[in-house]
Amino acid sequence: MSAISLPPSESLFRPMTDPFGRTIRYLRVSVTDRCDLRCFYCMSEDMTFLPKADLLTLEELDRLCSAFIAKGVRKLRLTGGEPLVRRNVMSLMRSLSRHLASGALDELTLTTNGSQLARFANELADCGVRRINVSLDTLDADKFRAITRWGDIDKVLAGIEAAQAAGLAVKINAVALKNMNEDEIPSLMEWAHGKGMGLTVIEVMPMGDIGAGRIDQYVPLSLLRARLEKQFTLTDLDESTGGPARYVRVSETGGKLGFITPMTHNFCESCNRVRITCTGTLHTCLGHEDASDLRKPLRASADNELLSATIDRAIGLKPKGHDFIIDRRHNRPSVSRHMSVTGG
Ligand code: SAM
Ligand code: SF4
């Protein structure tokens, strides 16, 4: 008896448009929940990480990403945990870069803490990566160690230098932390702009139990902006990437400064992104407990029909927006997942 081959279903290439008319073009993939640092606002000191056996293989991650690309994703970001600590992560990068070569993908990029960047910068550039985000909350070595619990800032600075030498554009991301780096934002900005890098400041989000109260960490960026405006001329830029950042040009430095304000002002109405974890769980909103298991349909068959249908169902349930709250009465995580699981 000969097998009848059916044409691939439409679902494989169906654009992912949610009930609010937002089309998903951006996928962020957490390739590991592990990290070589323990930033106090991201992780607790004694984190329990996922058993390695639960992780998708690099081949499965590639297949999952490729299924999303077939459904219209144009930008792909690897994140974590720390993506550069996942063993052989560069083989995944290399393999995904075929979608840049084919024109299916506009951008392949990475968010990293920079600690391993010096080793990987040239290879990243060689894979077609053009821009990366490096997270750095302070330039003070002691504060850096306090924030990350044991990190060495020199490794990060060497990583940034190597990335720039390899021709990668670098954007610095800094989480604004009360009584920690809030006063340092102007000098961090001048340093970044002086090196031709943008800086984006982020409000701390109530994600995951970190063994400390969020209220003690949280600084509204409206406050930081008002302080910056006493010293610098900030001009709003019109550009929007569909993401949560809003940008200004700083006349005195000529550089770009971004604000990500999930707490004081969200931009969920233009959200074009979804996230998958290293175990293949799809989260359609950073600020909700919603989760769809993609590992089961991925492993259930060699073709992507079931997987694609599961993705379509999940996109159909994407929430309108998140509801993060930090105040004295809600001094508990709004979302139980740590940022390192979902991928920031
Ligand atoms: N390890 C990489 C890094 O640090 O860039 C990638 C993963 S990390 C989870 C991504 C980003 O999320 C970092 O810029 C980090 O500072 C930020 N982040 C972590 N926890 C956060 C939280 N609770 N609120 C806001 N940003 C957070
Ligand atoms: Fe690691 Fe990034 Fe989380 Fe810091 S923010 S603990 S570097 S995953």
Question: What pLDDT is recorded for position 216?
Answer: 78
Residue 334: the pLDDT is 59
Q: What is the pLDDT along the chain (344 residues), one digit of tens a residue?
A: 444 555 667 889 999 999 999 999 999 999 999 999 999 999 988 899 999 999 999 999 999 999 999 999 999 999 999 999 999 999 999 999 999 999 999 999 999 999 999 999 999 999 999 999 999 999 999 999 999 999 999 999 999 999 999 999 999 999 999 999 999 999 999 999 999 999 999 998 877 776 666 767 889 999 999 999 999 999 999 876 667 789 999 999 999 999 998 777 667 888 899 999 999 999 998 877 789 999 999 999 999 999 999 999 999 999 888 765 655 555 555 566 667 666 66
Residue 82 Cβ inside 6 Å of ligand 1? The answer reads yes
Whether the CB-CB separation of 117 and 136 falls below 8 Å is answered with: no
* In a domain? residue 5: no
| Tokens coding 322 | 């998140």
Q: Judge whether 156 lies within some domain.
A: yes
DSSP category for residue 80: S
Q: What DSSP letter does each residue of 124-189 carry, written as one string? A: HHHTT--EEEEE---S-HHHHHHHHSS--HHHHHHHHHHHHHTT-EEEEEEEEBTTTTGGGHHHHH
Predicted TM-score (pTM) of the model is 0.93
User: 4 lies in a domain?
Assistant: no
DSSP-based three-state secondary structure for 263: coil
Q: Nearest-CA neighbor of 66 among 104, 122, 110? A: 104
Number of domains comprising the chain: 1
Please report which ligand is nearest the Cα atom of 326.
1
Give me the half-sphere count of Cα atoms (radius 13 Å) on the Cβ side of residue 36: 17
List alpha helices for 208-303, DSSP H: 221-229, 295-300
Q: Print the domain residue range for 193.
A: 15-342
Q: Would the CB of 268 count as within 6 Å of ligand 1?
A: no
- CATH code, domain with 338: 3.20.20.70
Nearest atom within ligand 2 for CA of residue 113: 7
- Mutation test of ligand 1: which of 131, 202, 217, 278 has the most ligand atoms closer than 8 Å to its C-beta? 202
**Residue 307 resides in a domain:** yes
Amino acid at residue number 308: S
Question: Using a 6 Å cutoff on CB, does residue 37 contact ligand 2?
Answer: yes
Q: Residue 192: CB within 6 Å of ligand 2?
A: no
CB 173 within 8 A of CB 135: yes
Whether residue 297 contacts residue 318, with contact meaning beta carbons closer than 8 Å, is answered with no
Nearest alpha carbon to residue 108 among 84, 129, 82, 80: 129
For residue 78, what pLDDT is reported? 98
Q: Comparing C-alpha atoms, which of 275, 295, 298 is closest to residue 286?
A: 275
Domain membership of residue 315 (yes or no) is: yes
- Please tell me if the CB atom of residue 113 comes closer than 6 angstroms to any atom of ligand 1: yes
Residues 6 or more apart whose Cβ sits within 8 Å of residue 85: 32, 34, 35, 36, 116
Residue 265 has phi, psi (to 5 degrees) of -160, 115
